[in-house]
Structure 1
Amino acid sequence: MSDNNKMTIIATKGTFDWAFPPFIIASTGVAMDKEVTIFFTFYGLNLLLKDTSKLKVTPLGNPGM
């Protein structure tokens, strides 16, 4: 696969409101026939845990809250 067909996403936030964008963008990339890699770092690692009870929604800077 050429470099034009690859996509890398960095997930750094570990809250519910920031959990969905990397996965939505990744699924869009796959639909465009791209090889997608999501790199989880810092608080983004919390998104990979089975127990999601510690994940919160951040009201700061969230106009819907």
Structure 2
Amino acid sequence: MTKLITEPNLPRPDDFYQELTDLHRDLTDEQSVDVNARLILLLCNHIGDQEVLSEAMQTARKHIPAQ
């Protein structure tokens, strides 16, 4: 079983962030949501570990305030 890595793990995080923001440039809000969903599904498929993916979803959700 692999554990979700939550410590910084990108060799060049600023370059990644720039590429991620560039990905959304000139997109409508709907297109931006669509490209995010596609990117998430591609990365989930690449990871391929349900336990890690479940942990990631739980971790992401716990930082969203309740309405």
Question: TM-score of the superposition, structure 1-length normalised?
Answer: 0.32
Q: Which has the higher contact order (CA 8 A, sep 6+)?
A: 2
Give the TM-score normalised by the residue count of structure 2.
0.31
